[in-house]
C-alpha cells in the first residue's frame, strides 16, 4: 500500500522542522529490504511504550538485517531525522517513544548467534525476547534471568543449572 505523505496530518513534525519527511520516506522505502511504515496507524501504534508518555514518531522502520539498520542510520543522518531503536517496548519512562524514526528490532532482527556456556556468553541480535533466548540456553542447561517479555536491553545474569 502506498501512502501520500504530504496528505498525512504531520503537524507533530513541526517539532523537527528540518526533516523532509517525504524524501526521507521515499529513500528508506527504495533502499531497505525491511518494512518502512509511515502511515497513521503504525505511527499511533508506536507512539508509546509501557509508560504513560506519548510521542507520535515520524515513522517506523522494521529492519530485516544489519544492512537495513546501517542504511537507515545513514539516511536519517542525511535528513537530520532523530532515530531510536526499540526492542520489546517495555521501558517504563518513555525511553522508546519520540518524534523520531523508530527502528523496531523485534520482528525480524531477533536471532541467537551463539551461546558459550564456558564463557557464560550469549551473542544475540538485539530484537530477541528473553524467553526465546532461554529456550536455546536451556539446551546447554543455562538460564538467563530477567523479565520474560523484555528484549536484550535488560538481560542481567547467567544461571547454570545443576
Ligand X SMILES: Cc1cc2nc3c(=O)[nH]c(=O)nc-3n(C[C@H](O)[C@H](O)[C@H](O)COP(=O)(O)OP(=O)(O)OC[C@H]3O[C@@H](n4cnc5c(N)ncnc54)[C@H](O)[C@@H]3O)c2cc1C
Which residues here bind ligand X, judged by CB under 6 A?
49-50, 84-92, 95-96, 105, 126, 147, 150-151, 153-154
Give the shortest CB-66-to-ligand X separation in angstroms.
11
Indicate the residue among 73 and 136 with the shorter CB distance to ligand X: 73
Give the shortest CB-106-to-ligand X separation in angstroms.
8
**Could you give the CA distance from residue 45 to residue 152 in angstroms, rounded to a whole number?**
21
Indicate the residue among 23 and 74 with the shorter CB distance to ligand X: 74
Question: Any idea which residue has 539498520 for its cell?
Answer: 69
Indicate the residue among 8 and 150 with the shorter CB distance to ligand X: 150
**Could you give the CA distance from residue 119 to residue 140 in angstroms, rounded to a whole number?**
12
Q: Give the 3-state secondary structure of residue 7.
A: helix
CA 46 centroid distance within chain: 10
Q: What residues have CB less than 8 Å from 91, skipping those under 6 apart?
A: 49, 50, 51, 153
Give the shortest CB-122-to-ligand X separation in angstroms.
15
Give the shortest CB-4-to-ligand X separation in angstroms.
29
Indicate the residue among 115 and 128 with the shorter CB distance to ligand X: 128
CB 147 within 8 A of CB 158: no
Amino acid at each position: 500500500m502506498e501512502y501520500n505523505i504530504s496528505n498525512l496530518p504531520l503537524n507533530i513534525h513541526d517539532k523537527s522542522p528540518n526533516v523532509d519527511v517525504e524524501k526521507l520516506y521515499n529513500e528508506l522505502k527504495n533502499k531497505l529490504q525491511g518494512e518502512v511504515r509511515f502511515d497513521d496507524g503504525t505511527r499511533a501504534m508506536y507512539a508509546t511504550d509501557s509508560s504513560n508518555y506519548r510521542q507520535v514518531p515520524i515513522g517506523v522502520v522494521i529492519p530485516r538485517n544489519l544492512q537495513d539498520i546501517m542504511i537507515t542510520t545513514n539516511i536519517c543522518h542525511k535528513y537530520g531525522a532523530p532515530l531510536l531503536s526499540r526492542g520489546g517496548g517495555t521501558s517504563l519512562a518513555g525511553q522508546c517513544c519520540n518524534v523520531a524514526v523508530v527502528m523496531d528490532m523485534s520482528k525480524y532482527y531477533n536471532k541467537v548467534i551463539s551461546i558459550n556456556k564456558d564463557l557464560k556468553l550469549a551473542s544475540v541480535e538485539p530484537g530477541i525476547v528473553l524467553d526465546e533466548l532461554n529456550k536455546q540456553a536451556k539446551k546447554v542447561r543455562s538460564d538467563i534471568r530477567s523479565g520474560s517479555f523484555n528484549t536484550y536491553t535488560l538481560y542481567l545474569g547467567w544461571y547454570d543449572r545443576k
